Amino acid sequence: MCGIAGYIGRDQAAPIILDGLSRLEYRGYDSAGIAVYDGEKIHMQKAMGRLRVLEEMTQHGATLPGFCGIGHTRWATHGSPSDTNAHPHMNEENTIAVVHNGIIENYAVLKSRLEKKGYRFASETDTEVLAHMLTEYYRGDPVEAIEKVMHRVEGSYALGIMFLDHPHHIYAARKDSPLVVGEREDGKFIASDVPAILHYTRSVYYMENEEIVCLSNEHTRFFNVDGESIQKEPVTIDWDIHAAEKGGYEHFMLKEIHEQPQAIRDTVSPRIRENEIDLDDIGLDEEKIRGLRRISVVACGSAYHTGVTGKYVLEELARIPVEVDLASEYRYRNPIYEPDSLTIVVSQSGETADSLAALRDAKAHGSQVLAIVNVVGSSIAREADNVLYTWAGPEISVATTKAYSAQLAAFYLLALKFAQIRGTVTPERFRTLLDALRRLPGQAESLLAQKEKIQYFANHYLATEHIFFMGRGIDYALCLEASLKLKEISYIHSEAYAAGELKHGTISLMENGTLVVAVATQDALYPKTVSNIVEVKTRGAFVMALTTFKHNDMEKCADYVLYVPETEGPFMGSLSIIPLQLFAYYVSLGRGLDVDKPRNLAKSVTVE
């Protein structure tokens, strides 16, 4: 779901498309493909692995002559990485070619309908549905066919499309997945991100939701989803290429913080259908879920912190005992495996060495293993019995942000589904929680508007040497991640504590000017956390508090207060983490450090 590049003009298309895709490699991908019209047919070439494999296969585009084409680099979401699942996808007659970023949420229903009509599918992807649907509705007018497909498809998409009947045209459409159009005197371009075309033109159109574009050598025409012509004005890009790869953000970490609402949305939305949670793809039947006696969550680093939150949420909603282990400790403590238990292994990359070893140990002792991972076809995904994918897309910055948020969302889905099946929440409570889950992405977006306020505060604490985070319940789990994020990228000594534990030793470290970040979003625990704030303040600490808007009395006891929107208590971590990620980011930035590549750290820990 990662990169799109397309070209029509006076030059050979394939070398330009391959070059455009190479400028999107920073986004991550597992396969690549290209389709070019040569004057008679649409010829396609696809390859699993790095883009250079495709470049060598096509002699850098020389074996695919033609002046019109589309290309793609894929980050697998439906179907494991393979030549067959790589994009573009074509219909059976090889007359329509499609590349697609995003997720088609209702693809299973659409695929079933098409199969009943005799359409045959070659891949496991949701994208191939689009190629066959376009065939179903095509009656000579590509825009009309695209409109009909857009009216029937649910989910997010950026599409590049070629029709053999219209050989000197490229069509594109978008909904909730970015797409830009570029033009210059001798050519037109489509791309999922500006870097793909910035080498060729700085004049671009940003496509809005539910818009369609038709490109030819003579014109650039835009339409809405009802086929009505619309006028758009191009803008001139003044970024350099390095900045453009980050979408105009100074660092990938900041870009990925801003992508969290979409990561939550992409992980949650496809699994909510007609006010029910659909987790059929993870392979756990209702009898198994009802009979669960215990869950073990095993993970490392930030993934471990999502497991700590998951413990609180699963136990509160589904009433199943949950234990959480660091993967590096799990297999060495000789864990006890019981019948009717489930082991959940969490990993962004799906290659984390300690987590993979824990998975193998659990399976060797007869435990069923569910993996929560972000990479289709990864080792953990392949070896687990069942997989719940987090569709966060590729994450570049070493300090995780959006993958963490997507993992939290996965735990929410599990907890709600398990609670419903086990009858531990009423139907009314289930609907309330489901509505709150749907609202999370929008609420997360609203928090990003606090950036300047957070940066102002961070700039006053650039020289601090010690920071303490404290909270209770889910707030404590959140503090673990916030503290890790700060120490990862700022190199400041930071610790997180359950607020009630401070008086058991740590309060001796409090003195004038010590910075304490107190998180107090859980209503039932709010008065107790306030008492802990008073305790550290009487020892001279300076307290930055994070709470919900209804607790504005916090300003009477804390020195600085950040507010987050109200949501259901189990989901508060998804909102509270965003201001604290931004705090860590701005402290690191202010200290002049490499935010995206902190010293001594790797993105994926593939050795023990």
Active-site residue list: 2, 603
- Give 143's Cβ-side CA count (13 Å radius): 16
Distance CA 490, CA 595 (A): 8
Distance CA 163, CA 130 (A): 13
Q: Which helix (H) or strand (E) holds 495?
A: strand 493-498
Distance CA 561, CA 542 (A): 11
Buried b or exposed e, range 347-373, using 16+ CB within 10 angstroms? bbbbbbbbbbbbbbbbeeeebbbbbbb
Give 450's DSSP letter.
G
Q: What is the dihedral of CA 570, 575, 578, 581, to 10 degrees?
A: -20
Distance of CA 153 to the CA centre of its chain: 21
Whether the bond into 88 is cis, omega within 30 of 0: yes
Give 30's DSSP letter.
S
| Count, residues in the chain | 608
Buried b or exposed e, range 505-524, using 16+ CB within 10 angstroms? eebeebeeebbbbbbbbbee
Tokens coding 437: 């889950």
Tell me the pairing of strands 341-347 and 368-373.
parallel
Tokens coding 268: 């949650």
Among the listed residues 69, 177, 58, 76, the one whose alpha carbon sits nearest the alpha carbon of residue 123 = 76
Among the listed residues 195, 26, 86, the one whose alpha carbon sits nearest the alpha carbon of residue 603 = 26
Please name the residues in contact with 133: beta carbons below 8 A apart, sequence gap of 6 or more: 110, 114, 148, 149, 152, 153
The residue type at 303: A
* Other C-beta atoms lying within 10 Å of the C-beta of residue 304: 22
**Torsions phi, psi of 320, nearest 5?**
-115, 130
Q: Is 389 exposed, middle or buried (0-12, 13-18, 19+ CB in 10 A)?
A: buried
Among the listed residues 302, 259, 271, the one whose alpha carbon sits nearest the alpha carbon of residue 1 = 259
In angstroms and rounded to an integer, the radius of gyration of the C-alpha atoms of the chain is 25
Task: Give me the residue label for tokens 């799906």.
Answer: 350
Q: Are 271 and 280 in contact (CB under 8 A)?
A: no
